[in-house]
Amino acid sequence: MATGDVSELLWRPALELAALVRAGEVSSRELVAASLERIEALDGRVGAFTVLDAERALDAAEAVAPGDARPFAGVPLAVKDLFAAVAGMRQSNGSSFAESVPTRDTAAVRRLKDAGFVIVGGTKSPELGILPVTEPRRFGPARNPWDLERTPGGSSGGSGAAVAAGMVPIAHGSDGGGSLRIPAACCGLVGLKPSRGRISHGPELGDSFLATDGVLTRTVADTAAALDVLAGYEPGDATWACPPREPFAAAATREPGRLRVALTLEPPFEMEVDPVQAAAAREAAELLASLGHEVVEATPPWRDPETFRVFTVLWAGLIGTSVGGLAARAGREPEPGELEPLSMELYRKGRETDAVAYLLAQARLQGLARRIVGFFAEHDVVLTPSLAQRPLPIGALDPCSADPWDDFRRSGQFMPFTAIVNVTGQPAIALPLQHGDDGLPLAVQLIGRPEDEATLLALGAQLEAARPWADRRPPLTAG
């Protein structure tokens, strides 16, 4: 098959590509070579990747033969360069401090490989995944393929940019405060944050109160099938989500039934919501009503003036733990200038916070989570804007500014609807239902009941059928 024809295939869903490889209509090597060629052609402008693993990717692709029954056999994939270890591939976590080459895969990466994916490289994250934009000092900004002067979001911004630009059909990411849903919203993709405990952090890490792995895709079906791959208990996990009643891929093919949907435009923090973002949510509510769902206006009890302060304590503790782990691996503390100013401030705050204060912060957030989850006794799904603002210009949030704490606070004004779902541990999905007059994607967020990704996937598939988005392409990729 001609290279141009194979490159065009990269816009197809990952499941379709695996079916073509299985049938012998295209080889995995052809797909991986086309992916690497697109990265070479576009990444100088987009800046999605921190590292490529071309030689090993081509070797792995050679081993994939027609008839391979694995669900994603031969499909090229990018992995977020943030604590997702790929054995033998450089890991930097967006930082100049404590770079390493892991000797074994994390559980999520191993599962992706076992499903047949071929890893082509690592994608950019902000340093330590802190900000909702992807502009690490070490590597420079990742840019939104829809507008190169705008952010693709963060912290999985490199993965979002890579999929939106057609470099790969699917990419790994993670979400500790919206880091899958924000890039999905900025780049016109599907981004599902799974339930807490759905995906293991093994083998080194234990439970995470906030963060989980996931993927960025163009279709709900790809997202569902990838969740089937990633989900499940790993030996040594202290807690885990209950297994689903049916495969997630099957849930994405069934009708969701009539659901009670609560529309809210009120974020958990006191701030303005861009009228364009609010209008998108209202239009999505009208679409849901036209599909037979009961839509009411109601807001979960998530307003608490102390939430941002308490969340900052918890986040600082997590960054402190992360940097402490990197320091232990390096055998030394970070030297001046090795961490960005915001990272260093959070690290210091984390080290200054005693264990009692940290546990009290987590307990307070758990109490808030109980109140919010109780709201779902009378509502199946909550519909919100995905973001409170349009995708930010490059440089709007600067972790190296003279006042990094101000940038950290202002980041909450960009994405107030996402982080609260990491606190509750519920599943949530960003769907690119519309396109704005500014030429950028316009998405909404659906929040589901605890451990009920199935309803979100079924509802997401219904919305996708009613308002298809997968064929949209950024002007950057024309020709």
Active site residues: 80, 155, 179
Matching residue, tokens 């600082």? 316
The rounded distance, in Å, linking the Cα atoms of 16 and 251 is 18
Q: What are phi and psi of 191, to 5 degrees?
A: -135, 110
The DSSP symbol for 437 reads T
The rounded distance, in Å, linking the Cα atoms of 462 and 18 is 23
The radius of gyration computed from the CA coordinates of the chain, to the nearest angstrom, equals 21
User: Going by C-beta distance under 8 Å and a sequence separation of 6 or more, which residues neighbour residue 349?
Assistant: 312, 313, 316, 320
Cβ(312)–Cβ(319) under 8 Å?
no
C-alpha angle 75-162-58 in degrees, rounded to nearest 5: 40
Give strand ranges (E) for 269-399: 294-297, 381-385
How many CB atoms lie under 10 A from the CB of residue 272? Answer: 10
Using a 10 angstrom Cβ sphere, with 0-12 exposed, 13-18 middle and 19 or more buried, the burial of residue 270 is: exposed
